[in-house]
Amino acid sequence: MAHTHTAFEGKNALKLESGQTLGPITQCYTTFGSLNATKSNAILVCHALTGDADADIWWKTLIGPGKAVDTNRYFIVCANVIGGCKGSTGPSSINPETDQPYGSDFPVITIGDMVNAQYNLMEHLNIPYWLSVIGGSMGGMQALEWAASYPDKVRSCIPLAATAQVSPTAIAFDAIGRSAISSDPNFNKGHFYGKAIPQKGLATARMIAHITYLSEQSIDSKFGRKLQDKSEYGYHFDTDFQIESYLKYQGDKFVDRFDANTYLYLTKAISYFDMPRKYGSLEKAFSATQAKFLVIAITTDWLYTPAQSKEFVKSLIRLDKEVTYAEMDSMNGHDAFLLEQPDLTDLVQLFLEKLNDN
Amino acid sequence: MAHTHTAFEGKNALKLESGQTLGPITQCYTTFGSLNATKSNAILVCHALTGDADADIWWKTLIGPGKAVDTNRYFIVCANVIGGCKGSTGPSSINPETDQPYGSDFPVITIGDMVNAQYNLMEHLNIPYWLSVIGGSMGGMQALEWAASYPDKVRSCIPLAATAQVSPTAIAFDAIGRSAISSDPNFNKGHFYGKAIPQKGLATARMIAHITYLSEQSIDSKFGRKLQDKSEYGYHFDTDFQIESYLKYQGDKFVDRFDANTYLYLTKAISYFDMPRKYGSLEKAFSATQAKFLVIAITTDWLYTPAQSKEFVKSLIRLDKEVTYAEMDSMNGHDAFLLEQPDLTDLVQLFLEKLNDN
């Protein structure tokens, strides 16, 4: 697919919600398709915790020529978030003050900070507004934040498997994951670059999180109590069950492609995401937005639940905003937003087409 | 309360389900009340993963003078399970072959092995049968195993918050906990006695497990997104939220009272617990039992769910066994079986009184 990888070097430091500043920062982004003459076909795709700018790869079910988010029709932008480890400024980037990687000297960032950085990118690209901002999970949080903080720059907003206020249960799982990373003897207070990395801690964090991305039904159906490569219990502490083997594989594979500090910073940003807290209430958050909403929740998502999606949907209805809420019936849990779901892709396609017709 | 702590030193080695042998073993047990002349009032209480023989302390809501399991009326026995770290032979005990603690040379044990050890204790105490075998969680698994493997020695069986077949989701959480322990650099393949213990790994395992003992509702209601000793986000990686602080406290407190190897062995025994696998089917498991059953599940228990209790209840009904199934409406999740629950204690009291009347 025709796409362009680019690094956008900002000119000014980014003012963060914490009061600190960061940068000037780099944002690594990918674009697909072309901006039309009226600049009315730009769509921002926001990635989830472990994603990157290559939205055509991790969201291939949705994005591509002739697909719901049609690269022949729309100009699609996806940037690696700040704090990330896929090209944008993050804890593994060089801190200009020390000429060493930031490590734990990187400031704590928020979903709002990610969105503010993306706003600078939008200006840089001379995009007057987004036809749509789309994202799942942490990407959906960014989409909601866009609608709230740039109310006249977002024509539509499609949060999938998202929440406007991360639950204490989700905070708990992420906190344990962070604790596993910072307990790893290789963690070295975040200054492990060029040395042994805290891979066991990161693998543990990934395994914990991975359970929350599945559902009890999908675990039962995919793995059940099936043993891995054996018919009898091993009576040892190696892997006995397929679910153990699967999680171990997920953990081990993850450490090769992800930075442990990025994991800390992005999960912290997620834990902090609380629109009622930031804006006073959900109604205040969305009062000025000009966006139409397509909100999609997954029936078996117990991380960012349908009930949580309905919370902000109710606020949007109270505000007389145009909102469509769809609950996708899937047994695949939170991760279903990334999987082949004809109902889901049809909905997104129709929603975008209707916008375009206006 | 009048109670007696005793160590029972077995004379013979215990044959384990793995084919290995263990011992002769020690079982540390506590008794409450007195065995009556007809030896018809003995009740065995089986403890859960992190419990011990002092059932009057950890199950004070249920056990005591005038309480549901009335120490004035019944002769109550509770033994620390084999594999444990509270007096019975476990991985921290001295291996007679090496004169060193077993560590990882301790054999893998099963719920069935725990029950077989308890059977030896029963014979030693000259108890002809149990009026009831009662337990919650892993204790409930032992109660079910008693009814299946000693069908004429158990007059009644009260499994609470239990399952006859541990789910792959529960296996997954326990496997991650074990992985956190064995990843700890102090683990030293299980030979850490007399040295630094794998306390960070054990704390992580406890934190993971602790979430599964709660429910989303109880986490929301007890903690919500409340901050710990502050009104604003800290924008650092110390504890921000009360739920983080609570879990950290639970993890840190746990390492002072529990052995990391026992955690490995007992969670492995739990993961292996699968009565359909061992007996061919639930019907085959319970076909010969003479026990009446009071089965109690907790509505918000997502670790050993009401659906899982209903599975073996259905088998008992098919077998024409006498069974009462009660679902306790509690928002407290799995751990509710240990909490003050008047409905629960009333049920147990009435059930036991009716047995006694016969």
A322 and A307 within one domain = yes
Say whether A104 and B172 touch across the interface (CB within 8 A): no
B131 and B90 within one domain = yes
Cα of B78 to nearest chain A Cα, Å: 27
Q: Which residues 289-328 of A are in CB contact (within 8 Å) with B?
A: 302
Cα of A22 to nearest chain B Cα, Å: 14
Q: Which of A167, A237, A247 sits opposite B264 (nearest CB)?
A: A237
Q: Which residue of B has its CA nearest to A266?
A: B237
pTM of the model: 0.96
pLDDT in tens, A148-161: 999 999 999 999 99
**pLDDT higher than 50, residue A354:** yes
Among A242, A267, A292, identify where a domain stops. A267
Tell me which of B214 and A341 has the higher pLDDT: B214
The answer to whether A301 is a known catalytic residue is yes
Say whether A216 and B176 touch across the interface (CB within 8 A): no
Cα of B148 to nearest chain A Cα, Å: 20
Cα of B67 to nearest chain A Cα, Å: 35
Query: Which listed residue (A301, A309, A315, A335) is catalytic?
Result: A301
Best residue of B163, B165, B183, B262 to probe chain A, by most A CBs closer than 10 Å: B183
A350 and A306 within one domain = yes
A33 and A53 within one domain = yes
Q: Which residue of B has its CA nearest to A190?
A: B237
The answer to whether A124 is a known catalytic residue is no
B74 and B7 within one domain = yes
* Neighboring chain A residues of B260 at a CB cutoff of 8 Å: none
**CATH number assigned to the domain comprising residue A246:** 1.10.1740.110
B237 and B179 within one domain = yes
Q: Which of B20, B168, B204 sits opposite A224 (nearest CB)?
A: B168
Quote the strand ranges of chain A, DSSP E. Answer: 3-9, 14-15, 21-22, 26-32, 42-46, 63-64, 69-70, 75-79, 94-95, 100-101, 132-136, 156-160, 292-298, 323-328
What's the average model confidence in pLDDT over A241-267?
Answer: 97
**pLDDT higher than 80, residue A356:** no
A136 and A205 within one domain = no
Q: How far, rounded to the nearest angstrom, does the alpha carbon of residue B244 sit from its chain's CA centroid?
A: 26
Cα of B324 to nearest chain A Cα, Å: 27
A156 and A16 within one domain = yes
Check if A113 contacts B (Cβ < 8 Å): no
**pLDDT higher than 60, residue A49:** yes
Q: What is the pLDDT, as a whole number, of residue A340? A: 84
Q: Which residue of A has its CA nearest to B221?
A: A168
State the Cα–Cα distance between residues B174 and B159, nearest whole angstrom: 21
Say whether B178 and A237 touch across the interface (CB within 8 A): yes
Best residue of B233, B238, B277, B278 to probe chain A, by most A CBs closer than 10 Å: B233
**pLDDT higher than 70, residue A357:** no
ipTM summary value: 0.94
Per-residue pLDDT of chain B (358 residues; tens, 9 = 90+): 567 889 999 999 999 999 999 989 999 999 999 999 999 999 999 999 999 999 999 999 999 999 999 999 999 999 999 999 999 999 999 999 999 999 999 999 999 999 999 999 999 999 999 999 999 999 999 999 999 999 999 999 999 999 999 999 999 999 999 999 999 999 999 999 999 999 999 999 999 999 999 999 999 999 999 999 999 999 999 999 999 999 999 999 999 999 999 999 999 999 999 999 999 999 999 999 999 999 999 999 999 999 999 999 999 999 999 999 999 999 999 999 999 888 899 999 999 999 965 4
Q: Work out the mean pLDDT of chain B and round it to a whole number.
A: 96
- What Å distances lie between residue B199 and A18, B9, B180, B238, B246, CA to CA? 33, 31, 10, 19, 17
Q: How many domains does chain A have?
A: 2
**CATH number assigned to the domain comprising residue B29:** 3.40.50.1820
Could you please report the per-residue DSSP string of B207-229? HHHHHHHS-HHHHHHHTTT-BSS
State the Cα–Cα distance between residues A103 and B174, nearest whole angstrom: 31
| Host domain of residue B250 | 170-267
Buried b (16+ CB within 10 A) or exposed e, A59-85: bebbbbeebbbbbebbbbbbbbbbbbb
Say whether A211 and B18 touch across the interface (CB within 8 A): no
A308 and A187 within one domain = no
Say whether B331 sits in a helix, a strand or coil. Answer: coil
Q: Work out the mean pLDDT of chain A and round it to a whole number.
A: 96
Best residue of A113, A171, A197, A202 to probe chain B, by most B CBs closer than 10 Å: A171
A252 and A111 within one domain = no
Which of A6, A64, A45 is CA-nearest to residue A159? A45
Work out the pLDDT band at A329, boundaries 50, 70, 90: very high
Residue B26 backbone dihedrals phi, psi, to 5 degrees: -105, 140
Among B267, B298, B327, identify where a domain stops. B267
* Neighboring chain A residues of B200 at a CB cutoff of 8 Å: 183
State the Cα–Cα distance between residues A157 and A146, nearest whole angstrom: 8
B319 and B211 within one domain = no
Check if B230 contacts A (Cβ < 8 Å): no
What's the average model confidence in pLDDT over A248-270?
Answer: 97
What's the average model confidence in pLDDT over A330-356?
Answer: 92
Q: What is the pLDDT, as a whole number, of residue B356? A: 65
What's the average model confidence in pLDDT over A206-219?
Answer: 97
Among B242, B267, B292, identify where a domain stops. B267
Say whether B175 and A225 touch across the interface (CB within 8 A): no
**Tokens, residue B126:** 């000259």
Q: What is the pLDDT, as a whole number, of residue A358? A: 47
B10 and B153 within one domain = yes
